[in-house]
Amino acid sequence: MEDQFTHAFFFITLMLLLSDCTARDSMSANKKIKDGETLVSEGQMFELGFFSPGKSKNRYLGIWYKKISKGTVVWVANRETPITDRSGMLKLSTHGNLVIHSGGNPMVWSSGSTTVSVQRDSSVVVQLLDSGNLVVWKRNSTNNVLIWQSFDYPGDTHLAGMKFGKDLVTGLERFLTSWKSPDDPSIGVYRNIMDTNGYPQTLGWQGEVLLARVGPWNGVGFSGFPTEKENQIYSTEFVINEKEIYLKYELKSSVVQRVVLTWDGKTLFLHWIERIQDWVVYSEGIVDSCDRYSLCGPFGVCSIRRHPPCTCMQGFEPRNPEEWKASDWVSGCKRKKPLNCGNGDGFWKISRIKVPDTRRSWYNVTMTLAECEIACKRNCSCTGFGSLDIRNGGSGCLLWFDELMDTREYDGDQDIFIRMDANELEGLLDSLSDFNKMKRVIIVVVFTSLVVPLIFAIAYACRKINSRPHTKGRGDQFVEKNTSLPMKHLDDLQFFSLFEVAKATCNFSVCNKIGEGGFGPVYKGALEDGREIAVKRLSETSQQGLDEFKNEVICIASLQHRNLVKLLGYCIHQKELILIYEYLSNKSLDFFLFDETRSLMLDWSKRFNIIHGTARGILYLHQDSRLQIIHRDLKVGNILLDSDMNPKISDFGLARNFIGHDTTANTKKVVGTCGYISPEYAAHGRFSIKSDVFSFGVIVLEIISGIKNREFFHGDRSDNLLGHAWRLHQEGRSIEIMSATLDDSCVVSEVLRCIHVALLCVQHHAEDRPTMLSVVLMLVSEGVLPHPKQPAFFAGESDNEVRSGSSVDEYTITKLYAR
């Protein structure tokens, strides 16, 4: 072999040896990579070589992250053919075929790309790119031609830039397959595939069982899958034409993301967080039971807000009522009245849903919704239709045939129209108006009785919301969510008798009182079993208190997150309405932050942990919990601390939940707390998730400076804390805002980053402010941040809490706006 080396080759080898510490990223024909040697991509992002997964002793050729996260494998070549010793070797043939051989086996694995004709003036080379893609090029002096790439043969990982889907010309299909176990990369039972029958959608299989379905692309995102419109982290692209159908994502920032189908069947979206040196799950394929494929059977609709979750579509009834009652919904629903087809069938609109399975669908990109309706009417087996693309009022046509499967309620802007017998449709419309009348009567009758006032108060409120005209949402419009009855929410909670609660709190003794919550006093207590609890008691049955109480139950009962305070149970007894929470020993953040001695207990790492935890809690409210919730009263006083100083957001009395992407709303009543409310909310009563982002920014600046925004004075300037911080930032002196108590413990780069992010959050215009997802990622990543525009300048002097419905509001707000 050595004989073949020419002088030139010898020279190159020498160069490689000399530059050994900056490992090579490519290899030319007839060269080898032995077990123990590696290729490293140019920017040190990925490494290729032989490895043993988990506890296994087998050797595989794979690609893993190099710079970050040692040992996270993203691709494996010889998944099914492990090498049992260290004799493995990777070689590139002169014709561009990658081959692995070992001591006893001349071909353990091959890329199978041998058909290329290589002329005399060209050569082949294999290169590992910073994207994690291993490519084989054919090179001559003018250009590179791609012969083979590992991105075409994904394993369990989808990386940025990788196409997921089908090449209709070559028939190549790129899909994910799970590993068998953490120790065995061979193909397991799970796979995620872009299914191209009907309108394309992604299906998750376990063997022959369809587990889950990500709805089809609707122009904005995937139907039924939470997407952020202005995602600053990555963009998703869906391409469908006569040559190929695929989806692909590209990262917009320095964040490292991978999507993995785990060996036990979970699809996880993971982000690498440098600070904690770990992968964090940022989103998951299956979140709740309604994500399980066709839980409710044909013509059923699943909703996580209902209990039980399955109902039949309008005009349908359970096919098998016995099974249905026993919570077996598989056989689904059938029509109450069969279609007679053609003779004036109508369509019933179902709004805000994840559209049914499209495997038996037909589509046309250019047709309008009106043409779509005609097309559906014309074919007897067409059972429903809808727009293909929901942007700009909807365009394109999607027709469904036969059974409608796997439909769920979902907070998106997507509607479908289901076919119905004309008489049935008329009956439905009539009964709907009767139902509303009847409901009103019942509620008035019952409302006069005093039995469980809460339940009916909420029923009443729900009716009010339902009867309000829905503005179907695009742009700045919003639809208020019609909250289901609270019984369901209370179901999940433990009931406490008044006797138990009174006993736990020494009969609501003054000594046990630890504060005033949004709607009444809060007591500390201890249960029989020794658990410490916090008890919130709605003292007077004021309408405002009742509203807030009800809100708290609805919001928090369904939420579970380590950075939200946990509701353990409730007590309703005659006029007493009581909520029972986990007790947090360290009170609230303001108790420490604004006290000279106690603030010393909050060093920088604790404060950073509080900032980060609070951000994650809010992100959960805004996005991850599916019920999009706007807290509306975020402040340091509402951030409680457990014994390890972990933050937990509390007080959901003012929270509101919304649907749709543009979750903005107008309200006549301005509620919230002075110093934390955003300018658009204070001035116009307009609030959105961005008002919470604003409050978060204020909180961060208060945590860093140890000064209350509304109590801040600076010389003769009328700046508040925000204005002052921004001015310092402009001058490159933002560190000066930091409290002197942090001098010893601070990590300057982290402090500066937090201040910068906070300033982005408090920008005057809501649309300039980042979303909480971006905030969370900006806090922990290292990318360049945009320049913050001028913040809202408040000159808050009033220490009044601005709660709803009093004339104080107007007064306070005018003062707030006197710049």
Contacting positions for ligand NAG (CB under 6 A)? 121, 140-143, 145, 362, 364, 366-367, 371, 379, 381, 401
Name the amino acid, one letter, at 661.
H
Residues β-bridged to residue 318: 333
**Least distance from C-beta 202 to ligand NAG, angstroms?**
22
Give the residue with the Cβ less far from ligand NAG, 20 or 121: 121
Query: Distance between CA 775 and CA 760 in Å, rounded?
Result: 9
What's CA 203's distance to the chain center, in Å? Answer: 19
**Least distance from C-beta 779 to ligand NAG, angstroms?**
48
Give the residue with the Cβ less far from ligand NAG, 362 or 460: 362
Give the residue with the Cβ less far from ligand NAG, 137 or 652: 137
**Least distance from C-beta 25 to ligand NAG, angstroms?**
22
Give the residue with the Cβ less far from ligand NAG, 140 or 574: 140
**Residues 633, 649: contact at Cβ < 8 Å?**
no
CB within 8 Å of 231: residues ≥ 6 apart: 252, 773
> How many residues can be counted in the chain?
819
Residue with tokens 């006797």: 499
**Least distance from C-beta 182 to ligand NAG, angstroms?**
43
Relative to beta strand 576-582, strand 567-573 is antiparallel
**Least distance from C-beta 371 to ligand NAG, angstroms?**
6
H or E segment to which residue 236 belongs: strand 234-240
**Least distance from C-beta 390 to ligand NAG, angstroms?**
18
Give the residue with the Cβ less far from ligand NAG, 107 or 145: 145
**Least distance from C-beta 118 to ligand NAG, angstroms?**
10
Give the residue with the Cβ less far from ligand NAG, 12 or 145: 145
Neighbours of 493 (CB within 10 A): 16
Burial 755-778 (b: 16+ CB within 10 A, else e): bbbbbbbbbbebeebbbbbbbbbb
Terminal CA-CA length for the chain: 82
Closest CA to 476 of 623, 681, 687: 687
**Least distance from C-beta 614 to ligand NAG, angstroms?**
51
At CA 610, angle to CA 751 and CA 533, rounded to 5? 165
Q: Tokens representing 639?
A: 């951030």
Query: Distance between CA 565 and CA 751 in Å, rounded?
Result: 26
Looking at the chain, the number of H-run helices and the number of E-run strands are 16, 49
DSSP conformation class of 565 = P
List active site positions. Answer: 633
Relative to beta strand 361-364, strand 397-401 is antiparallel
What's CA 67's distance to the chain center, in Å? Answer: 27
The backbone torsions φ and ψ at residue 231, rounded to the nearest 5 degrees and listed phi first, read: -70, 125
Query: Distance between CA 250 and CA 235 in Å, rounded?
Result: 5
**Least distance from C-beta 303 to ligand NAG, angstroms?**
29
Neighbours of 612 (CB within 10 A): 20
Give the residue with the Cβ less far from ligand NAG, 379 or 543: 379
Residue with tokens 């190549």: 172
CA distances (Å), origin 356, targets 88, 153, 214, 311, 406: 49, 30, 10, 15, 5
**Least distance from C-beta 197 to ligand NAG, angstroms?**
12
Give the residue with the Cβ less far from ligand NAG, 121 or 528: 121
**Residues 388, 398: contact at Cβ < 8 Å?**
yes
Give the residue with the Cβ less far from ligand NAG, 56 or 364: 364
**Least distance from C-beta 220 to ligand NAG, angstroms?**
22
Query: Distance between CA 770 and CA 784 in Å, rounded?
Result: 14
Query: Distance between CA 313 and CA 321 in Å, rounded?
Result: 15
Give the residue with the Cβ less far from ligand NAG, 187 or 375: 375
Q: Tokens representing 786?
A: 């945009």
**Residues 419, 382: contact at Cβ < 8 Å?**
yes
Q: Is 444 exposed, middle or buried (0-12, 13-18, 19+ CB in 10 A)?
A: exposed
Give the residue with the Cβ less far from ligand NAG, 277 or 379: 379
Instruction: Respond yes or no on whether the N-terminal peptide bond of residue 308 is cis (omega within 30° of 0).
Output: yes
SS3 breakdown of the chain: % helix, strand, coil, rounded to 5?
25, 30, 45
Burial 306-332 (b: 16+ CB within 10 A, else e): eeebbbbbbbbebbbeeebeeeebeeb
**Least distance from C-beta 116 to ligand NAG, angstroms?**
10
